[in-house]
């Protein structure tokens, strides 16, 4: 029996694969590599000493997806495949709807056809929209402010309808807060295309000298220093949350949402200062205007995940910054460098 991991070559996917393999699961990975590199999967094998099947296809490729379910005894699915850039989703919404929503529908149809009804879905705190009542619990009002967020919200709703139609489905909707950090080996990490949109990869690229300075988007929020506050969570803690959710869906039926966060918020300037302190590098920044669509404060109440999944985040902000930095300095150009070096041999 195997666990199918969609989007397994990505940032969260690759760390989740390591945790699954280390826990003794057999895995099958599907990833169309549109925003990830197969190099990450080679490194998953390097770190775990374990091989696994990999299919470089899209979820919308129904015949090939069916082939996976025919060729492997899939027991449950961890579904992380999806496009995730907020700004891009506003420019090319149909691409987001086609990829994220149609892909999820094809996946669920095939699961249903093969009697596989256990799924852990990669949702996001973005489904809480502009809600600023913190800490945010799972029953806070939902809403989305952009196409990316709407795809996450719609997929959650599609999965709830699926459970209404057939109560033998078992579904965990994991609402991630702000994943940062990297595997402690420095071999796996976040490899954004082009100039990063998110805070931590931007900070590390400024610190390494690739970008001149950080723009701090707004210093007039109602927070201690006026800059935006978020709940940063180490990607390895997040990956372990998937294993706990998997154990849960294996033993129950139903549909439940869980916040995966630390329950603690840090401002942009606190992140800059912490990063500078633990790495000894300076991060020049300047205050810029607010980024459209941003909210001031967002952090989780993660107690439902602790109570029902037995999961809690262990890694603190220092470790998140150090691990992000180790990944950045050992892989200044992400996964590209090693591929190019291989090509030159």
The reply on whether position 294 binds ligand UD1 by CB under 6 A is: yes
CB of 125 to ligand UD1, least distance (A): 6
Decide if residue 197 touches ligand UD1 (CB under 6 A).
yes
Task: Please list the active-site residues.
Answer: 148
95 binds ligand UD1 (CB under 6 A): no
Please count the other Cβ atoms lying within 10 Å of the Cβ belonging to residue 230.
23
- Cα separation, 338 vs 342, in Å, equals 6
Is there binding between residue 260 and ligand UD1 (CB under 6 A)? Answer: no
Instruction: Closer to ligand UD1 by CB, 65 or 103: give it.
Output: 103
Q: Which of 72, 95, 98, 291 binds ligand UD1 (CB under 6 A)?
A: 291
Interface residue with ligand UD1, options 52, 169, 202, 299 (CB under 6 A): 202
Interaction of residue 86 with ligand UD1, rule CB under 6 A = yes
284 contacts ligand UD1 (rule: CB under 6 A): no
Binding mask 146-185 for ligand UD1 (x = CB under 6 A): ---x----------------------------x-------
- Under rule CB under 6 A, residue 122 binds ligand UD1: no
- 268 contacts ligand UD1 (rule: CB under 6 A): yes
Minimum CB distance to ligand UD1 smaller for 181 or for 228: 228
CB of 109 or CB of 301, closer to ligand UD1? 301
Per CB under 6 A, 124 contacts ligand UD1: yes
- Work out which of 198, 303, 329, 339 binds ligand UD1, going by CB under 6 A: 198
SS (H, E, C) the chain: CEEEEECCCCHHHHHHHHHHHHCCCCEEEECCCCCCCHHHHHHHHHHHCCCCEEECCCCCCHHHHHHHHHHCCEEEEEECCCCCCHHHHHHCHHHHHHHHHHHHHHHHHHHHHCCCCEEEEEEEHHHECCCCCCCECCCCCCECCCHHHHHHHHHHHHHHHHHHHCCCCEEEEEEECEEECCCCCCCCCCCCCCCCCCHHHHHHHHHCCCCCCEEEECCCCCCCCCCCEECEEEHHHHHHHHHHHHHHHHHCCEEEEEEECCCCCEEHHHHHHHHHHHHCCCCCEEEECCCCCCCCEECECCHHHHHHHCCCCCCCHHHHHHHHHHHHHHCCCCCHHHHHHHHHC
Does residue 96 touch ligand UD1 according to CB under 6 A?
no
Is residue 48 close enough to count as binding ligand UD1 by CB under 6 A?
A: no
Q: Is 265 in the site for ligand UD1 (CB under 6 A)?
A: no
Binding residues for ligand UD1, per CB under 6 A? 86, 124, 126, 149, 178, 197-199, 202, 214-217, 228, 230, 268, 291, 293-294
């Amino acid at each position: 029996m195997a666990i199918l991991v969609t989007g397994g070559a990505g940032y969260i996917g690759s760390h989740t694969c390591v945790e699954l393999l280390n826990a003794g699961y057999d895995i099958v990975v599907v990833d169309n590599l549109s925003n990830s590199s197969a190099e990450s999967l080679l490194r998953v094998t390097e770190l775990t000493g374990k091989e696994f099947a990999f299919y470089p296809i899209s979820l919308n490729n129904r015949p090939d997806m069916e082939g996976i379910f025919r060729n492997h005894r899939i027991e449950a699915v961890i579904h992380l495949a999806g496009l995730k850039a907020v700004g891009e989703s506003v420019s090319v919404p149909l691409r987001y709807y086609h990829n994220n929503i149609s892909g999820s529908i094809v996946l669920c149809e095939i699961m249903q056809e093969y009697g596989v009804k256990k799924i852990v879905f990669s949702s996001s705190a973005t489904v809480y929209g502009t809600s600023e009542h913190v800490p945010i619990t799972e029953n806070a009002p939902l809403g989305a402010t952009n196409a990316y967020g709407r795809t996450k919200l719609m997929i959650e709703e599609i999965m709830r309808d699926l459970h209404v139609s057939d109560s033998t489905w078992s579904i965990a909707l994991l609402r991630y807060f702000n994943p940062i950090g990297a595997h402690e080996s420095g071999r796996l990490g976040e490899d954004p295309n082009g100039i990063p949109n998110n805070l931590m990869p931007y900070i590390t690229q400024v610190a390494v000298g690739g970008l001149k300075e950080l723009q701090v988007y707004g210093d007039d929020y109602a927070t201690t220093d006026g800059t935006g506050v978020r709940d940063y969570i180490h990607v390895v803690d997040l990956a372990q949350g998937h294993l706990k959710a998997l154990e849960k869906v294996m033993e129950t039926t139903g549909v439940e949402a869980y916040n995966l966060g630390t329950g603690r918020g840090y401002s942009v300037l606190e992140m800059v200062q912490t990063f500078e302190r633990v790495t000894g590098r300076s991060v020049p920044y300047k205050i810029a205007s607010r980024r459209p669509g941003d909210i001031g404060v967002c952090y989780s109440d993660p107690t439902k995940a602790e109570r029902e999944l037995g999961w809690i985040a262990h890694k603190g902000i220092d470790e998140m910054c150090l691990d992000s930095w180790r990944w950045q300095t050992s892989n200044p150009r992400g996964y590209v460098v090693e591929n190019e070096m291989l090509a030159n041999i």
